[in-house]
Structure 1
Amino acid sequence: MAERTSTADDWAAGAAFDPVSSGRKRVGKLLIVLASVLLAAAIVTQLLHIYGAAEFGFDTWRPIVYAYVVWGVALGASQVLIRGEDGHRALFLLPALLFTIAMVIFPTLFGFYIALTDWNLSSFSGRKFNGLANFWQMLGDPYYRNALFNMVLYVLAVLVEYVIAFGLALLLNAQIRARKFFRVVFLLPLMLSPVAVSWMIGKSLMEYRFGPAATLARYLGWDNPAFFSNPITARISIMILDAWTFIPFMMIMLLAGLQAMSREVLEAAKVDGANAWQTFWQVTFPLMLPVSLTAIILRIIFKLKLADIIITVTSGGPGGATDSVTSFIYREYRDRSNVGYGTMLAMVYLILIIIFVTLLLKVANRFVRNVN
């Protein structure tokens, strides 16, 4: 037993030390340099060929893929040669790294390049580099500014959705009759596609001539119940449709948090003489803050991608009043075939989302620390 322990300790010590010779390190560095030069040369050659600066090149991008695979293999081998045992452990991260570069980083960089071009699919001139022209056009685009303003309103509506979802979660957590039945019923909107919700409610129930909602509105005294003809009512209607679809998502997260709370804490509050409101505001709500913030942040992320309901029901109308940034970019691609300008809008929106979500997470973490 002592010998076995000693052997294991010796192996661990040797693995921790794992000396790598200088010659082996030089071979590893040379290998990754040669593979990087090969990959860079293949990319530059293909780009020069595409833009007519060189007559030689490849017919497709397939050789670039092969060069990238060779570079990935060389990267893994060089890590083993240079870092020894640490390099073997790094090999487990290599597939994820290569996949991220191929599927996330490269498309993003290519998107930034497309954003700097004048590329309209309906034009015979093809793609032309135009620098920051699309960016200056975006700054002067009133429809894009209106879409950004709408996104602010749509995101603020998440707070109202949170209040409703929390109320439903408290109700379904209480000892009421047919509690399991109501849980399933309240989850039904989340099971439906937003496009299906758009047709069932936006295109059918809220249809201004024969829809049941319009008929009820006329009965209550609204002369022309056109829910999507006025900018204000159209925005509110879109918010209601989207909220009806995704409030169950927040509700189920909050319900899970309520059920995970310790009953002893609530019983202790009752013993101390706290009424229902004091128990909620001083015990339940603070304990639910981490779950609440998680639900709100996830809902905001979903809200920032809002497009399908708008595209199906209003197509951004009336006059772009209900456009979200995503639906506006979609119509820029589909209706105007303006790939370059649409990509610039998407890249700027991506940067704004990254900044906003990063700040939101920092503020949320600080708020939780201060409350706790």
Structure 2
Amino acid sequence: MSAGDLLHVVTDDTISESRKRLGKALIWGSFAAMVAAFAFCALAARGTVSVELENWRPALYGYLVWATCLCIAQVVVKGEQGKRTLFILPATLFVVAMVIFPLIFALTLAFSNWNLSAFDGPQFNGLDNVRQMWADPFYWNALKNMVWYTLAILVEYAIAFGLALILSSQIKARKFFRVAFLLPLMLSPVAVSWMVGKSMLEIRFGPISRLARWLGWDRPAFFSDPEIARFMIMAMDAWTFIPFMMIMLLAGLQAIPREVQEAAKVDGASGWRGFWEVTFPLMLPVSLTAILIRIIFKLKLADIIINVTSGGPGGATDSVTSFIFREYRDRSNVGYGTLLALFYLVLIVLAITVFMKLVDRWMNPRY
């Protein structure tokens, strides 16, 4: 082996026992300081100690000190192996700080009564928020609406696939139609809600409402009837995001080798049969990815509902996100709203996990 090759060889360091003890003392000492900082902030928040703190900044400093000492100790205790750990450990600690700690804070709020209009802070109330949630018909109605909103993705997928097939074929002005079909995706959902929901569908002066009256509909109130209002919310949301699915499916179609399609035509698989037996199976990975991403976007549906109907009439168009938003904004009920959000998060994680399991079994059947 040449001398130059030795530069790429990582050898185990000979770490002395005293150096290892120093590294472990650094870890556990900084950890004890962090725990003490968190305990002090908790006692100050409950009024147990006489010191008043404006925020939990000492706990943040304690965590930063522990994270820094933990990274240093990796090199002190493990040597070269510890340097490898530093490629991952800081990012992991950052994720813990940005995700785990807020989640723990949210769990404490979920079992508290905290109304921003009151002078006192959060007060622990046990399972009262849980009982209120089980007896809240508006929240369960919002969950039921989310089922319908999510099922509408199948229709959106069919429309997006059809548009992608048209744009992938040799039609005139193909580039123009690609740009035209992408225009709704370039608009903000808030802009769509005001441009379509508040302007074009306005009951008195909206152009669509005038056209409906001219066609014989006496009172074209698009957002007064629950079923029609829910359908209009679905339509506006679909109009905004169908181009997103379309562009993903179009990219998948263009990635299919022409030789495969030509071979299928030679074998007699043309038209619908060629699509169902050749194109559609090859597009399954792209299709499932587009559907999964669309589901994630759909589960956050709120802006169109908040701007157009505010959940009405009578909560008929509410999504879970819009309902929780109004719980925070209109009722200032932080504790109850946080519990609803965490329960919704658990449902999302379970639903996405089941969906991924079913997709995996479908794509990779085990005999």
Range class of TM-score, shorter chain: over 0.9
Instruction: Tell me if the contact between 1:115 and 1:134 (Cα under 8 Å) persists in the aligned partners.
Output: yes
Please show how residues 1-372 of structure 1 align to structure 2 within 5 Å: 2-4=1-3, 7=6, 12=9, 15-56=10-51, 58-370=53-365
| TM-aligned CA deviation for residue 23 of structure 1 | 2.8
Amino acid at match of 1:303: K
5+ long unaligned stretches in structure 2:
none
5+ long unaligned stretches in structure 1:
none
Amino acid at match of 2:308: V
- Residue 363 of structure 1 aligns to a residue whose secondary structure is helix
Poorly superposed stretches of 4+, deviation over 6 Å: none
Instruction: Tell me if the contact between 1:46 and 1:57 (Cα under 8 Å) persists in the aligned partners.
Output: no
Distance 1:73 1:127 in 2: 32
What's the Cα RMSD here?
A: 1.6
Distance 2:54 2:263 in 1: 74
Instruction: Tell me if the contact between 1:151 and 1:325 (Cα under 8 Å) persists in the aligned partners.
Output: yes
Distance 1:356 1:108 in 2: 20
Q: Deviations over 1:123-145 (max 9, x none)?
A: 22332111221111111100000
| TM-aligned CA deviation for residue 360 of structure 1 | 1.2
Cα–Cα, structure 1 residues 7 and 191, in superposed 2: closer, same or farther, change >3 Å?
Answer: closer
Q: Deviations over 1:77-128 (max 9, x none)?
A: 1212222222111112122122112211111111111111100011223321
TM-score by length of 2: 0.96
Larger mean CA deviation between 270-279 and 285-294 belongs to 270-279
Distance 2:352 2:336 in 1: 24
Larger mean CA deviation between 357-366 and 247-256 belongs to 357-366
Distance 2:290 2:243 in 1: 11
Cα–Cα, structure 1 residues 59 and 124, in superposed 2: closer, same or farther, change >3 Å?
Answer: closer
| TM-aligned CA deviation for residue 6 of structure 1 | 6.8
Distance 2:167 2:295 in 1: 24
Distance 1:133 1:31 in 2: 43
| TM-aligned CA deviation for residue 199 of structure 1 | 0.7
TM-score by length of 1: 0.95
Amino acid at match of 2:3: R
Instruction: Tell me if the contact between 1:45 and 1:57 (Cα under 8 Å) persists in the aligned partners.
Output: no
Amino acid at match of 1:356: A
Amino acid at match of 1:224: R
Cα–Cα, structure 1 residues 44 and 223, in superposed 2: closer, same or farther, change >3 Å?
Answer: same
Amino acid at match of 2:222: F
Distance 2:282 2:118 in 1: 59
